[in-house]
Amino acid sequence: QLEILKARDKEYHAYVTIFEEEALSRAKEVQSLIDTGELGDSPLAGVPVAIKDNICTKGNLTTCSSKILNNFKPPYNAEVIERLNRAGAVIIGKVNMDEFAMGSTTETSYYGPTLNPWNTAHVPGGSSGGAAAAVAAEEAFYALGSDTGGSIRQPSAFCGVTGIKPTYGTVSRYGLIAYASSLDQIGPIARDVSDCAAILEVISGHDGKDSTSIHSDNIKYTTALVDDVKGMKIGIPKGYIGKGLDSEVRDGVLKAAKVLESKGAIVEEFDLDIVDYAIPAYYVIASAEASSNLSRYDGVKYGYRTKDFDGLQDVYKKTRSEGFGMEVKRRMMIGAFVLSSGYYDAYYNKALKVKARIKEGFDKAFERYDIILGPTAPTTATRIGESLSDPLKMYLGDIYTVSVNLAGLPAISLPCGVDRNRLPIGLQLIGRPFGEADIIRAAYSYE
């Protein structure tokens, strides 16, 4: 199987590192644990999984697809890795991403882009593009990604697979290399809703090592896998199906809404205008947090260090100039600017106010609806090279995903048909805080 994977990955480049020997010996070890019954009925026992390269794996490269961490082997495992290990998972490698999870196409990776398995002239989405492509190309049974502003959902949509961004605080962030800590969440990318529910059940739950992790150990997501949406109230924000949306994506999404309606759900359109301000607020907040989080990469403690330098200041300057790519530098500059005295109130504080209003807007909507339905992204997978030269255009592609992170909500992306080029269309279902069961039930009923 590893040989098939390696051959296939030459074409798509989903992996940054493949754990060859280690995966084989782990598989043998898990087999004996299965044989002795020690793993009970764990649904993940022996199942191969790929891990996004910003999730720490002890003793194995964890690069964030950046030059600055190209030699970094963490001395510890992320909490999600510990949980997968206890469930008998077999990790087969680390998958490609946009550098430090900043991007929507996986093209900002230091190791080069991942290609979309449906059509290799197109991007797989991002930033968890390697994870979604690995699942779509059957190079992994499932993967763990991270989502700060859409990075699980949008690549899932582009690659025709299913991904869940959990409610903030559901999955421990311990060992997830931070991009924007108040928005980051780890979640599953898999072939269908049932697999996602089973994986989420294993990785979620309180962890004392993450102060934002909540107590919810008893959430059994798999019990929500029922084909029944009778009486479920579903709202479609008019702005989510209006201008800027590709017409084939709109048709796919509205058709999916009709399916749910035919199964007894009550579907209606409503106004959620505040999300118009989500993109600027997201990019101000995410960049501000990134500029702070990424200040730790200085060439001293770990990671890449410049070769020639003249004193400490020079180490910092050269290491960071050489180690970070363009997009990461752009975000750190924006972040430092919006946090600087004199501009703090005008930008950062204002963005926080918008964030609070977005949360209120969703709270109000959830008084009337159990679920909010819309597209995951305004288009299907874009062509390689299209957005690298136009970052603003790339940012605008996040229009339907970033507000979910700003409001801390759970959301799932699942396939709802293909466009005329046979590229998959993504349907997004958003739930109330800790309403994972609702979105899983609706997604399962649709599927």
Active site residues: 52, 127, 151
Is 33:44 a contact under the CB 8 Å cutoff?
no
Q: Which two tokens stand for residue 40?
A: 């009970």
Nearer to ligand GLN, 13 or 52 (CB): 52
Nearer to ligand GLN, 150 or 169 (CB): 150
Nearer to ligand GLN, 266 or 339 (CB): 339
Q: Whole-number minimum distance, CB 395 to ligand GLN, in Å?
A: 7
One-letter amino acid for residue 370 of the chain:
D
Is 102:331 a contact under the CB 8 Å cutoff?
yes
How many whole angstroms separate alpha carbon 113 and alpha carbon 109?
6
Nearer to ligand GLN, 53 or 398 (CB): 398
Nearer to ligand GLN, 100 or 304 (CB): 100
Q: Whole-number minimum distance, CB 240 to ligand GLN, in Å?
A: 17
Q: Is 35 helix (H, G, I), strand (E, B) or coil?
A: helix
Q: Whole-number minimum distance, CB 217 to ligand GLN, in Å?
A: 26
Cis check: omega of the bond before 127, within 30 degrees of 0? yes
Sheet with 233-237, edge to edge strand ranges: 15-18, 90-95, 48-52, 142-147, 185-190, 162-165, 411-418, 424-431, 371-375, 233-237, 266-270
| Interacting residues of 212 by C-beta distance below 8 A, sequence separation 6+ | 168, 169, 173, 181
Taking CB atoms, the residue at the shortest distance from ligand GLN is 151
Q: What's the full length of the chain, in residues?
A: 447
Q: Whole-number minimum distance, CB 129 to ligand GLN, in Å?
A: 11
How many whole angstroms separate alpha carbon 328 and alpha carbon 110?
11
Q: Whole-number minimum distance, CB 38 to ligand GLN, in Å?
A: 36
- The residues that touch ligand GLN, with contacts defined as CB under 6 A, are 101-104, 127, 147-151, 179, 286, 398
